[in-house]
């Protein structure tokens, strides 16, 4: 009887000791990122005696003590899924917000060096030239402001192109980072299965894998399926990328223009491209920023540069300059090459220059609308310069690369409309990031209230387990004393 009591007390000692050890592990990891609170699940051991023909005839069954059935992670899988879905959207809008913020910086419209200010200076100098067409300093000023305008347009376009290339390179980098995560998940699957098959709980390994899954779901829309052995299968775009211990990697394939597209490696040099909408997350955000946001403003800048050059050239080629000998006609003001002997037509914002023939001698600028009696412009004739200045308030047809009219507006209004759209797009992206951050924070707080370690709660549990351990130890002492009394009875 005493042996039986000692056994029950012993189970209590071992069980409470294990509970204290789990509590100690929780306290030690209270500040560990991604750690999930653990709890020792206690259950009674099988009672005695077991029903049978030879069982002792006693009243009822006696309990045989307590055991730690499992060490459980306190985790809500549904909440995990919600957090990953919202983190996916947060990752998408963060990438777009970062890109649009850089576009705003490139245009510098909050400073005095923005393209709008440079264009205003360009128009104002033409107005001055219409008033003082014979003035060499005024003509030089027109050349300088025009060169500044062309340089600003080219520089702005170049910066947008650099940003687009950076976003494109980030796609490739994200593919490498994603592949690293997929390989780590596959490796953890193997370790988790080994532990699970042995009947143990791989809680810390599961935490490490959940951290990787959270990171993965901020980058790409990954569908996670938990298997019976606690391994996970991961699908992207409807294709398995983690199946047990095997990881199928993503690929970054560049098209003819060097633009990366993301696919899944099928082996033997083959891959299946995945739509950006199926990738989601940071991948979709980078693609939207690269292919729509930045590309859209580059196209708009192209349209502005080509339209500006076309309208100014149309008037300038009909005017007359002061060459000192004969009237100069048919000379374009903006050209598509910096040093061409026969300047090309401006076809994009990346190739808009002032005709080097005019920069070499500003007297050749066609400020006059008609020649004088001797074939040279009459003194004070700045009518053509006035017509060019009046383009500032004249509505024109803005065309895209295919020759389709995209807008009917003045050049300045077209540019202001583009900047207004940029402001709206940037505000939308920033607001979406703020909203998603707030939602993810709220969900993480809920998760923390369930899975996080509360030191107050752990201290309370520790006291409870300590008291239970001390009670079990005292029970051992009591049984020891009872046994001594029984032994000594025969000696008295």
Least confident span in 44-48, 81-85, 283-287, 300-304: 44-48
Domain chopping of the chain, boundaries: 2-74+453-489, 80-102+170-290+425-442, 116-162+301-424
What does the pLDDT read at residue 104? 93
pLDDT bucket at 374, cuts 50 / 70 / 90 = low
Band of residue 492 on the pLDDT scale cut at 50, 70, 90? low
Binned at pLDDT 50, 70 and 90, residue 99 comes out as very high
State mean pLDDT over 62-80.
Answer: 90
Residue among 158, 141, 153, 147 at smallest CA distance from 114: 153
Q: What DSSP assignment string belongs to 428-489?
A: HHHHHHHHHHHHHHHHHHHHHHHHS--HHHHHHHHHHHHHHHHHHHHHHHHHHHHHHHHHHH
Report the sign of the C-alpha dihedral through residues 172, 173, 177, 180, in that order.
positive
- Per-residue pLDDT for 420 more than 90? yes
**Segment 436-456, tens digit of pLDDT:** 999 999 999 999 999 999 999
Of the candidates 294, 274, 281, 299, which has an alpha carbon nearest to the alpha carbon of residue 166? Answer: 294
| pLDDT 10s digits, 296-333 | 999 999 999 999 999 999 999 888 888 644 455 688 99
Q: Which tops the pLDDT comparison, 133 or 58?
A: 133
Euclidean distance between CA atoms 121 and 389, whole angstroms: 11
Asked if residue 346 lies in contact with residue 306, where contact means CB atoms within 8 angstroms, the answer is: yes
Encoded tokens for 392? 């500032």
Q: What is the mean pLDDT of residues 251-262?
A: 92
How distant, in Å, are the alpha carbons of 8, 462, 484 from that of 472? 9, 15, 19
Among candidates 172, 161, 63, 160, which has minimal Cα distance to 107?
160
Give percent of the chain above pLDDT 90: 71
User: SS3 of 341, please?
Assistant: coil
Mean pLDDT score, 65-69: 92
| pLDDT grade for 190, boundaries at 50, 70 and 90 | very high
pLDDT, mean of residues 5-33: 93
pLDDT value at residue 406 = 87
pLDDT score, position 46 = 85
Residue 339 has pLDDT above 90, yes or no: no
Between CA 252 and CA 257 the distance in angstroms is: 14
Has residue 285 got a pLDDT over 60? yes
Q: What is the model's pTM?
A: 0.86
In whole angstroms, what is the distance from residue 294 CA to residue 102 CA?
10
* C-alpha to C-alpha distance for 284 and 291, rounded to whole angstroms: 10
More confident call, 200 vs 352: 352
> Percentage of residues in the chain with pLDDT exceeding 70?
92
- The dihedral of CA 466, 467, 473, 476: what is its sign? negative
The per-residue pLDDT for 193 is 93
Burial of 352: CB neighbours in 10 Å, binned 0-12, 13-18, 19+: buried
Sign of CA dihedral 31, 33, 37, 38: negative
Q: What is the pLDDT of residue 326?
A: 43
pLDDT in tens, 468-483: 999 999 999 998 888 8
């Amino acid at each position: 009887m005493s042996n039986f009591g000692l056994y029950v007390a012993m189970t209590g000692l071992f069980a409470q000791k294990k509970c204290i050890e789990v509590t100690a592990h929780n306290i030690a990891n209270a500040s560990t990122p991604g750690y999930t609170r653990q709890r020792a699940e206690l259950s009674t051991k099988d009672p005695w005696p077991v029903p049978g023909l030879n069982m002792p005839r006693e009243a009822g069954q006696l309990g045989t003590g307590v055991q730690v059935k499992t060490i459980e992670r306190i985790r809500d899988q549904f909440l995990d899924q919600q957090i990953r879905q919202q983190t996916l959207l947060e990752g998408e809008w963060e990438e777009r917000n970062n890109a649009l913020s850089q576009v705003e910086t490139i245009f510098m419209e909050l400073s005095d060096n923005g393209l709008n200010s440079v264009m205003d200076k360009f128009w104002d100098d033409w107005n001055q030239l219409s008033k003082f067409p014979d003035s060499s300093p005024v003509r030089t000023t027109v050349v300088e402001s025009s060169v500044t305008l062309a340089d600003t347009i080219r520089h702005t376009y170049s910066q947008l192109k650099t940003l687009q290339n950076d976003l494109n390179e980030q796609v490739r980098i994200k593919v490498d980072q994603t592949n690293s995560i997929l390989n780590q998940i596959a490796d953890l699957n193997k370790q988790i299965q080994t532990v699970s098959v042995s009947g143990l709980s791989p809680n810390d390994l599961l935490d490490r894998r959940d951290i990787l899954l959270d990171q993965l779901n901020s980058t790409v829309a990954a569908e996670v399926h938990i298997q019976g052995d606690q391994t996970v299968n991961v699908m992207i775009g409807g294709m398995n990328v983690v199946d047990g211990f095997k990881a199928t990697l993503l690929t970054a394939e560049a098209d003819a223009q060097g633009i990366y597209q993301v696919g899944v490696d099928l082996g033997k040099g083959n891959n299946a491209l995945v739509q950006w909408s199926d990738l989601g997350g940071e991948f979709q955000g980078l693609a939207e920023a690269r292919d729509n946001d930045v590309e859209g403003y580059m196209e708009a800048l192209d349209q502005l540069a080509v339209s500006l050059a076309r309208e100014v050239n149309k008037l300038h080629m009909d005017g007359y300059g002061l060459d000192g000998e004969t009237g100069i006609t048919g000379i374009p003001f903006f050209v598509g090459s910096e040093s061409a002997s026969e300047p090309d037509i401006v076809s994009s914002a990346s190739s808009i220059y002032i005709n080097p023939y005019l920069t070499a001698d500003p007297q050749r600028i066609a400020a006059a609308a008609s020649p004088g009696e001797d074939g040279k412009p009459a003194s004070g004739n700045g009518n053509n310069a006035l017509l060019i200045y009046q383009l500032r308030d004249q509505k024109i047809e803005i065309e895209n690369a295919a020759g389709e009219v995209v807008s009917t507006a003045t050049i300045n209004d077209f540019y202001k409309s583009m900047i207004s759209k940029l402001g709206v797009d940037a505000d939308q992206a920033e607001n979406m990031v703020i909203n998603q951050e707030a939602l993810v924070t709220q969900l993480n707080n809920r998760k923390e209230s369930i899975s996080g370690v509360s030191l107050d709660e752990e201290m309370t549990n520790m006291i409870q387990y300590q008291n239970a351990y001390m009670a079990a130890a005292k029970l051992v002492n009591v049984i020891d004393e009872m046994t001594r009394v029984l032994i000594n009875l025969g000696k008295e």
